[in-house]
């Protein structure tokens, strides 16, 4: 009977393990592809094959490659959806007479409502500073707070913090001559809180003398206020004289359009009439003097 060590050596030499059989390349690739990721990483560290590709050109393992594919597909889907939602609707390309494609609008035109947002100064009591973080508007009564917020944000890019509104109903007055009644147009006041401060231009009472002159000059150059005021005043005077005299064709004399109701215009008209009267008197005097120089007038003798 052989010793224990010798028998072990003989058994090892007689037995051939499968590990010594060289693996086929296809079988090796299939084995690596089917083995878990942790096993492949351990084998790569053991055999210093960490940089070797695992059957992919980009070098990523299947799990990471699948994750990247899912992320890429999601991004492409989001970009496609955003492009479809953000497209400009209602426009199509039509080939013109010159053979070039032109963009035309499909459908009917839609107009904005005919409303006016009138910005006014904030109510500031005497002795208190002006609040630049508020803005006051006068708007029609049909406008809501949501409309105000959307209009200011989309048109002017103004961000608001709060909006307070109140309706102003005008007082009903009797017309001239107690015939019927009259009232002004009602409006809604909106006080809007601003994120960015806005300083309203100073009022005339708060300006210095130089600033006031510059402001009046700019207003006159831009809007021609003086001419508009004089024109409206002359029209009012004409209407008043027509009602007083009963003459529908009555008009202000030429040259009095500037200031028809002023003292200067009245005195000028008086002087013009006086000059006309004096000229007539002078003409009459000269005619009488010529007649006296010719001698007495002898009446013709009746025939005998």
Measured CA to CA, the distance from residue 102 to residue 93 in angstroms comes to 5
Let me know whether 195 and 233 are in one domain. Answer: no
Instruction: Indicate the number of domains in the chain.
Output: 3
| Token code pair at residue 263 | 């003292």
CATH of the domain at 186: 3.30.70.330
The answer to whether residue 59 is domain-embedded is yes
Let me know whether 232 and 186 are in one domain. Answer: no
The answer to whether residue 66 is domain-embedded is yes
The answer to whether residue 169 is domain-embedded is yes
Alpha-helical segments (H) within the chain? 4-14, 25-34, 37-46, 62-85, 145-151, 209-223, 225-245, 263-294
Let me know whether 133 and 172 are in one domain. Answer: yes
Q: Which domain holds residue 255?
A: 228-292
Whether this model's pTM surpasses 0.85: no
The answer to whether residue 11 is domain-embedded is no
Find out whether 141 and 190 touch, Cβ atoms under 8 Å: no
Domain boundary among 152, 184, 200: 200
Task: Write the CA distances from 111 to 13, 17, 89, 114, 115, integer angstroms.
Answer: 99, 89, 17, 9, 11
- pLDDT by position in tens, the chain (length 304): 545 555 555 555 555 554 445 556 666 677 667 777 777 777 776 665 444 444 455 555 677 777 777 888 888 888 888 877 777 666 778 888 888 888 877 766 666 678 889 999 998 888 888 888 999 999 999 999 988 998 898 888 889 999 999 999 888 777 666 666 677 788 999 999 999 998 887 777 778 888 888 988 888 888 888 888 888 887 777 777 776 666 666 555 555 455 556 677 778 888 888 898 888 888 888 888 887 787 765 555 555 5
The answer to whether residue 13 is domain-embedded is no
Measured CA to CA, the distance from residue 13 to residue 15 in angstroms comes to 6
Let me know whether 232 and 178 are in one domain. Answer: no
Let me know whether 196 and 156 are in one domain. Answer: yes
* Of 93, 116, 95, 122, the residue nearest 105 (C-alpha): 93
The answer to whether residue 206 is domain-embedded is no
Let me know whether 138 and 176 are in one domain. Answer: yes
Find out whether 197 and 135 touch, Cβ atoms under 8 Å: no
Domain boundary among 180, 200, 220: 200
């Amino acid at each position: 009977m052989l010793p224990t060590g010798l028998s072990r050596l003989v058994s090892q030499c007689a037995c051939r393990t499968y590990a010594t059989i060289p693996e086929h390349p296809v079988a090796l690739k299939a084995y690596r592809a089917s083995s878990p990721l942790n096993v492949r990483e351990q084998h790569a560290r053991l055999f210093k094959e960490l940089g070797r590709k695992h059957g992919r050109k980009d070098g990523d393992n299947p799990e990471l490659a699948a994750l990247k594919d899912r992320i890429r597909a999601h991004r492409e889907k989001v970009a496609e959806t955003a492009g479809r939602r953000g497209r400009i609707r209602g426009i199509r390309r039509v080939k013109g007479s010159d053979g070039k494609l032109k963009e035309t609008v499909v459908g009917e035109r839609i107009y904005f409502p005919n409303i006016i947002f009138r910005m006014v100064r904030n109510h500031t009591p005497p002795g208190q500073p002006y609040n630049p973080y508020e803005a006051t508007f006068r708007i029609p009564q049909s406008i809501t707070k949501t409309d105000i917020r959307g209009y200011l944000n989309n048109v002017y890019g103004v961000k608001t913090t709060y909006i307070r509104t109140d309706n102003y109903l005008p007082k009903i007055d009797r017309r001239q001559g107690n015939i019927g009644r009259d009232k002004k147009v009602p409006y809604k006041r909106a006080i809007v809180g601003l994120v960015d401060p806005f300083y309203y231009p100073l009022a005339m009472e708060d300006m210095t003398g130089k600033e006031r002159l510059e402001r009046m000059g700019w207003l006159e150059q831009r809007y021609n206020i003086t001419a508009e005021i004089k024109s409206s005043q002359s029209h009012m005077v004409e209407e008043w004289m027509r009602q007083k005299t009963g003459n529908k064709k009555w008009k202000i004399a030429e040259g009095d359009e500037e200031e028809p109701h002023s003292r200067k215009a009245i005195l000028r008209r008086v002087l013009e009439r006086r000059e006309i009267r004096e000229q007539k008197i002078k003409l009459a005097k000269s005619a009488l003097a010529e007649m006296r120089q010719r001698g007495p007038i002898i009446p013709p003798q009746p025939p005998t």
